[in-house]
A and B are shown apart, each in its own frame.
Chain A
Amino acid sequence: MELFRLEHKKLWRKNSTKICVLLCFFYCVVFASFFGYQCMSFGSYKEHHDGKNFDGYENIRNCQAYFRKYGVLTDETLQEWVRDSQSLSAQLDEERRTQGAENPETVHKYYHTDLFTVNGWLGTLYPELERADMLGVSVMSGYVEAEKLTGIYGRREKAVDTFLEISGQTGAERDYLLRIGEKVKTPFSWKWVDGWSSVLGSMVSDLGVVLALFLAIVLSALFAGEWHDNTSPLLLTTKNGWKKLAAAKIFTGIAFTLELFTMVAAGTIVFQLIYLGTEGWDMPIQMIKMYAIAPMNMLQAEIYEFAFALLGALGFAGVVMLFSALCRNHVLALLMSLAVSYGPMAFHDRVPMWLEKMFDLLPLVGSGSDVFRTNTFHLFGHYIWSPYLLIWVPFAIGILCLRPAVKGWARRMRV
């Protein structure tokens, strides 16, 4: 325990660790969360769309207040939203015509009342109403006749069915996915979706990409750094030698990963609570993506995404520690760690589907937003919904790396 405490202290004493933690905090919490909410994602547009104002908090409150009148997604509420949207669009046209420019407040209202989310639903559920001649000119809600938007839940079921067929999921696989989807309860609760869409679509799901970089920098020196500091002769001649030290290093790596993750997750959650509050937590994730089959609400999906990032980070920490133990040069260990994560990320979309699915199983290569997907893994005659594996396999890979890390380090240490 004492050795772990001191090893942990040693890791935190390094300037590289302090800088990485600071940068990670700044990027994930200050930049992505605070600036994201206050300006970049939810700030109102400046005149002529020339950047955004620093007024996200107020805008979010307005958006949330606007959606309270809907409460539940039904044909009627959807039609009402479309009419409101068309009225805002007309108001913008009028402002352009009479004042020569749009009123930024109207622009913001128009764009931030779930414009893109609801248009996504319309395109998915009412493809026959889409006009080819209007593509690129206006969003669907701008021209669609509101009264034609009927039978929303029946259309959703049909759309999921068609989507699975187009994606090549047939037979037992399709039945398996539809069985999962049957548990999705209707009607859907409808509050302001864009806030949750931003949280689940990028803020939380992208944590892994950032964590991978900083974990690799800090942990690649955990074992390999001893060669750089030239301390191996000292370590090898002590009673506890490499064995207990290796265990202390492993626990230090895990502790650091948990600390870094906790810092980022806590910061993200605090800003989420400040800006979004808890409103809309009970909406189903289908409100973000209609094709999703997971019977989850926003809160459950967020818990999944955080768990995905945490388990992925722990798995990745295991891989980095393995490289660190096997290499005498911590720069090489760093490059290998980055390659194993960012390499598959870079080639993810250019490889065959089966390889893409394998890549997703590597720690921090997949994304927490896979909870919205309808992929499966076919193992031992059974279909398994991909998020079930995507959350555990990266963690298991990391755990499997720990023993070879200790053994490898021991072998390298003995000259």
Chain B
Amino acid sequence: MELSVDRLTKQYGKKIAVDCVSTVMKPGVYGLLGENGAGKTTLMRMLCAILEATAGEVFLDGKEICALGADYRDLLGYLPQDFGYYPNYTAREFLLYMAALKGIPRDMAKKRAQELLEVVGLNEVEAKKIKTFSGGMKQRVGIAQALLNQPKILILDEPTAGLDPKERVRFRNLISDYAAGRIVILSTHIVSDIEAIADEVLLMRKGKLISQGTVPELTKEAEGKVWELAVSPKEAKVWQEKAAVANLRHEGEQVVLRILADDKPAEEAVPCEATLEDLYLYSVQGK
């Protein structure tokens, strides 16, 4: 199975939301990273065939996805960023409704809904109306509905938003188990989630795909650009204004800054190991 994106572009008036993105995805977990407005959601909506591209195409095994129609949607699981639900439905009823939309026979739908409610930890509240759920619980209902039809292509737009650390770990394990033989594309601002589960990372900025690779490959790009510098609290304020400071921690009387810069920012600065977050922040700042 191969999902290929060919010069995909989406333009709203003069604004280009996605700018000529091309990539090829095979089974595995793909993490989409980028600041707000980078075009991640627009790209995902075009991959789901719910948003018409201004130019370019998406192919699944060489066939254009819009032409595949229901056959493509049968393979698809999608969790939108702003997940909509029916407030008066219980979690179980909502899953059964979505299962009917996905064409899953009733008996199988009941079984599958029960399994997924357990997987996402909502089996004890399955009879409660969704409107009474917390943000994290609603998000888990969204994840469960995306998995109902055991999709070959799973697209999750900010799936960990609103989840507590324990639930995030549960979600990461779920996706890692699920991804075998499937294409999973997820976007998030939580870099550690991507670091933990993504086989490949796609870094987007201003609608463009600026980097793609495994986590080690990408962090390599940031090597030699991450520095630590110990300064006084007064100086720390000055540094925050004149340099890209990724982190700041207090050590005794001093403040240790983690600075992203192409060149050594000060004589006392020492190079340190780059992480995906460093690369993300570095790219976000357009360096």
Contacts and interface: CB of A to CB of B under 8 A. Distances in A.
Interface stretch (B79-87, B112-120, B174-182, B260-268): B79-87
A231 interface: yes
Contacts of A233: 45, 48, 50, 78, 80, 84
A350 interface: no
B103 A10 contact: no
Given A6-B100, A234-B98, A239 B70 contact: yes
Interface in A217-238: 226, 229-238
Contact of B98 (A7, A238, A241): A238
Contacts of A10: 86, 89, 97
A148 B78 CA distance: 85
B73 A231 contact: no
Contacts of B88: 13-15
Given A6-B100, A13-B88, A229-B84, A237 B50 contact: yes
Interface residues of A, number: 27
Contacts of A234: 78, 80, 83-84, 98, 101, 145
A6 B145 CA distance: 16
Contacts of A73: none
A13 B84 contact: no
A415 interface: yes
A296 to B, nearest CB: 45
B223 interface: no
B51 interface: yes
A69 interface: no
A414 interface: yes
A3 interface: yes
A246 to B, nearest CB: 12
A2 B50 contact: no
Interface string B94-132: 001110111100100000000000000000000000000
B219 interface: no
A10 B86 CA distance: 8
A240 interface: yes
A274 B85 CA distance: 46
Nearest to B71: A239
Given A239-B74, A240-B101, A231 B85 contact: yes
B283 interface: no
Interface string B143-162: 00100010000000000000
A384 interface: no
A6 B82 contact: no
A14 B93 CA distance: 14
Given A233-B48, A415-B50, A415-B52, A240 B103 contact: yes
B76 interface: yes
Contacts of A245: 101
Listed residue (A10, A238, A244) with the most chain B CB atoms within 10 angstroms of its CB? A238
Nearest to A236: B50
Q: Give the most central of B80, B86, B101: most A CB within 10 Å.
A: B101
Nearest to A2: B100
A236 B69 CA distance: 11
Contacts of B77: 237
Interface in A117-133: none
A13 B78 contact: no
Nearest to A248: B100
A15 B86 CA distance: 12
Question: Which of the listed residues A7, A240, A415 has the most CB atoms from chain B within 10 Å of its own CB?
Answer: A240
Interface of A: 2-3, 6-7, 9-10, 13-15, 226, 229-241, 244-245, 414-415
29 contacts: A2-B106, A3-B100, A3-B101, A6-B96, A6-B100, A7-B97, A10-B89, A13-B93, A15-B88, A226-B84, A230-B82, A230-B83, A230-B84, A231-B85, A231-B86, A232-B50, A233-B45, A233-B84, A234-B83, A234-B145, A235-B101, A236-B49, A236-B50, A239-B70, A239-B73, A239-B102, A239-B149, A240-B100, A241-B73
Q: Which 7 A-B pairs have the closest CB atoms?
A: A230-B84, A238-B101, A231-B84, A233-B80, A237-B78, A239-B103, A13-B88
